[in-house]
Chains A and B, each alone.
Chain A
């Protein structure tokens, strides 16, 4: 009863879709990917600086959390990343590829800086902060709305559309910088309202970045609740899962697209507000600093769960700050952090395959 079909020609590796996987197993696979990534990046660093990987991680930890100031900067930057990821969550949950966070951050930042510059002397700080937040929300929201409308009405490819919008925003920022540059010819805006501190986040409990943390964590919780419990969040999930089902249930798919993209852009706009008012107090084309792109990956990997995003934001920020520390100790440049980020993300992206698919090898016949 030999089965010749199997013996002679079944493909060596057979891949099939998993029906489901236990959460614990899925996280174990992701954990393994993380370990693999740390090993590879340890190896990379070792080959460059000949420092034992354990010491490397020790040094990285010091770089990220070694002093209270460093820890706060790490927290501040992780919060910024988290804010963008939170903004992207509703769009991705709707399966709308918003690659335009970078631009949405920047227009939010421009709006904020404009308020600081033009209203800095005429409004008290609390009112000014409120105005800046509203304006950045509108700016970011509109920037997100535009590709949303085109997608909803004409099915214009949103990936490419939002990508282009980034560069329009970058040029807009350059334009703003050239308008506001001080001193003239420096090609930078400098610290805005350095003397009056108007429109700066006030220190709370003696910490400059408390407000950043409060705002972003509030947004993260609100977004979690919005996606999970609100009617609109429910509509987003249905549209993302199946437009057919959405129509069956009487949901207007177009309306959901447009509304959700406004929301997504608006929160990215808030990230721009945080970047200007809450941390750098200036604006440049580097204000977004690629966070808009990295956050896409954070949001995607966290599967729209804003609490998992906190984890990924800190992980990435730890690697970034740690790598910068290594680089400065050994007098190398800080781009090593991008290499390590890349390695980590490659590993985790690859690991998703083993969560979604089952790989079986050809059975051996004796």
Chain B
């Protein structure tokens, strides 16, 4: 089949404030192909595609559709050019039916003839093999059904260029297979498809060509048949860098937290963590690896007392008086084992458990964006002291110390933290959490968006804490760093533990395969 270019993006740049989300990106998409857009979290994949679908407007660069230079100012412009995007967060109106959502925003005459629409929806569904009930309300649908509505919605509009943003993130393997079958049908129909993903086996499975983004820059593209997961990983994360992170052994390693059969379900009852068991030890950094959204957030929040857990779950905290060598029936010793399930964060701290937590959402959870540094230091200690007034002296001192020791760049300690750059925000947060003198320190994506120097500061702080005997749990996304920094690495895959690997045995390939359970699939 003759290759016809459907979309071409040239030198496209998009900035958000000081952050460059896409830096002079070039991309080409052909008709009758499935292109994988591969990249780590925050590499700018979604931003790039949002400019095709009219959500964002590029600061610089030019987009061509079917060889013609075009301007896409709004989603409507995109539809007119035959571009349809299926967003990761579905853009559906809950109280509408499937059919109503599908025809939303279309000009097909004033009357809303539900019968005619249903018939047309049926026709599209039959053509590509969808299963859809036009009269079902969206709030009654499963995620997979919602996704189907999204896809039919763009097809109904006659889109021949389809962009799917991480479509499989929410699907079961069976649903994924069904989706891929539909995608192949559409490809055979001459449509051009982009699938945004960071799951390598899916890339290998469904796409014809792979384009890779890293940190907003276009790295290159290869035909899927000419590559393998290892090569793609290298392109995605970059060549293994010499990191040289120290990993000295702590003098004493003791069990601190024992997680047993931890299961967490979200509001819709979908399991986010299933039967997770592991032990975190004082004097050790336990790395948590996994594709984003594999349950890392729920795991840390469950330990911090912020997630309702299923009844069979146990999170046992063993305090400093606990004797690891005592027999299991030593009742005196059992008093030093504390159940954290069912406790609120306040309960946990009242029990004397110094649990530090650096959450992924720094400004939305770990800090109060509109407050200054002092008041943010106060968040963990405002209840201390007698009387009705919050003591700001110590937090002020702490803020000054953190600014000095961690070299936080800020006009003053009375500046609201939302005005600081990402790296400095993180220093403030980590600085506060470490100042709590914790016995457990949890962090999620602690170096995301930070420059090299700040990242090293964070690594050193983690190691320092470990040497003090703190049990450090470090959720990371950069495998090179995890390998260098952590004593053991727990790999999560789809809410389950797919492996716990000691540092000595860990290789980047091995962990990468565990993250996607590639090994298991390969064996089958």
Contact = CB atoms under 8 A, between A and B. Distances in A.
Contacts of B357: 248
B298 to A, nearest CB: 14
Contact of B419 (A8, A11, A19, A231): A19
B509 to A, nearest CB: 36
Contacts of B345: 247-250
A50 B370 CA distance: 48
Contact of A5 (B17, B58, B390): B58
Interface string A92-126: 00000000000000000000000000000000000
Given A9-B73, A242-B368, A248 B306 contact: yes
A245 to B, nearest CB: 5
B365 A245 contact: yes
A6 B13 CA distance: 12
B491 interface: no
Given A9-B71, A10-B57, A231 B365 contact: no
Contacts of A237: 368, 370-371, 375
Contacts of A9: 71, 73
Chain A CB count within 10 A is highest, among B58, B345, B389, for B389
Interface stretch (B196-204, B377-385, B516-524): B377-385
B346 interface: yes
A231 B381 CA distance: 10
Nearest to B347: A250
B92 interface: no
Contact of A245 (B69, B349, B366, B383): B366
Contacts of B380: 249
A251 B345 CA distance: 8
Say what secondary structure dominates the interface of chain A.
helix
Nearest to B11: A3
A250 B351 CA distance: 13
B62 A242 contact: no
Contact of A11 (B57, B348, B349, B366): B57
Contacts of A232: 388
A67 B17 CA distance: 55
Interface residues on B, range: 35 or more
Contacts of A286: none
Interface string A226-249: 000111111101100110110111
B419 A241 contact: no
B220 interface: no
Nearest to B12: A5
A248 B366 contact: yes
A4 interface: yes
A237 B376 CA distance: 11
A248 B365 contact: yes
A215 to B, nearest CB: 21
Contacts of A249: 345, 379-380, 382
A5 B54 CA distance: 13
19 contacts: A5-B62, A5-B63, A5-B69, A5-B71, A10-B57, A11-B73, A19-B17, A19-B419, A229-B389, A231-B388, A231-B390, A234-B390, A242-B364, A242-B369, A248-B306, A249-B382, A250-B345, A250-B348, A252-B344
Interface of A: 3-6, 8-11, 19-20, 229-235, 237-238, 241-242, 244-245, 247-252
Given A5-B71, A233-B390, A245-B365, 13 more contacts: A5-B60, A5-B62, A5-B63, A19-B419, A230-B390, A231-B382, A231-B383, A234-B375, A241-B369, A242-B365, A248-B345, A249-B345, A250-B344
